[in-house]
Amino acid sequence: MSEIKSGETSAAPLDWQKRFATLVSNVFSPFLMSIALVILVGLRSARGTVDALKWSLLALALSILPIFVIILYLVRSDRIESMFINVRRQRHKIYLLSGLFAAATCIVLYLLDAPLPMVVSFLAALTTILVFGGINLWWKISVHTAFTASSVTILILLYGYVAAIAVVLLPLIGWSRIELEHHSLTQVTAGAVLAVLITVGVFALFGMVGTAAV
């Protein structure tokens, strides 16, 4: 009896960790975070709240919504195993589709004279998708940590260092992906570092680094 109780006690923390890691991974998924990021970029760069919501909704409708619908359909039809596409070989087509939608969004926003920070943000996303899509041909780099790192970087560039508090999300999300055994420490670290470098590089090309109020 004592051995059974001991086993149950030792297993409980592990079960709790897995559940918490799943919650973190779901709540801070690229889909949900992208909605918040696009709206925050719009609020910072548009002329007013209504204008910000207009550009944000347009951008989300052109980019995030189509990909979400496609992935949801593929999950429902058992063509991929989950919304987060944890199997590397299943990510190839999603990277391609994401790149096409991101490119289309950049073009439409530019032609409609959208706020420059929003256009540049999607250009950074497009560049990241292309680079990560190439890497995914042989290695499964972490999209969760990449998207989080890129989002935090964009917010710091636009809002100043007050947005740096969001950096605390990175180790939490990285831990969740490792705990769920979807990525290694190297994969989550590489995803974050590479995403930051790409984002800063793209924003620097447009002279948008170091211009936010601190």
Q: Band of the pLDDT at 86, cuts 50, 70, 90?
A: confident
Task: Please state the domain extents for the chain.
Answer: 2-205
Q: What is the pLDDT of residue 89?
A: 87
What is the band of 9 on the pLDDT scale with cuts at 50, 70, 90?
very low
Query: Region 180-196: what's the mean pLDDT?
Result: 96
* 3-state DSSP percent of the chain in helix, strand and coil, to 5: 80, 0, 20
Q: Which of 62-71, 85-94, 158-167 has the lowest mean pLDDT?
A: 85-94
Model pLDDT, residue 7 = 44
21: which DSSP letter? H
| Residue 197 token pair | 């470098």
Q: Which pLDDT tens digit goes with each residue over 127-157?
A: 999 999 999 999 999 999 999 999 999 999 9
pLDDT band at 212 (very low <50, low <70, confident <90, very high): low
Q: Given pLDDT bands bounded at 50, 70 and 90, which one contains residue 13?
A: low
- Listed in sequence order, the residues at least 6 apart from 8 whose beta carbon sits closer than 8 Å to its beta carbon are none
Lookup: tokens for 110: 């530019």
Provide mean pLDDT across the span 175-182.
94
DSSP class of residue 162 equals G
Does residue 69 register a pLDDT over 90?
yes
Contact between 160 and 5 (Cβ < 8 Å)? no
Non-local CB neighbours of 157 within 8 Å, separated by 6+ positions: 199, 200, 203, 208, 209, 211, 212
Return mean pLDDT, the chain.
90
Q: Flag whether pLDDT at 8 surpasses 70.
A: no
- pLDDT cut 90: percent of the chain above it: 78
Full-model pTM: 0.88
Contact of 62 with 108, CB cutoff 8 Å: yes
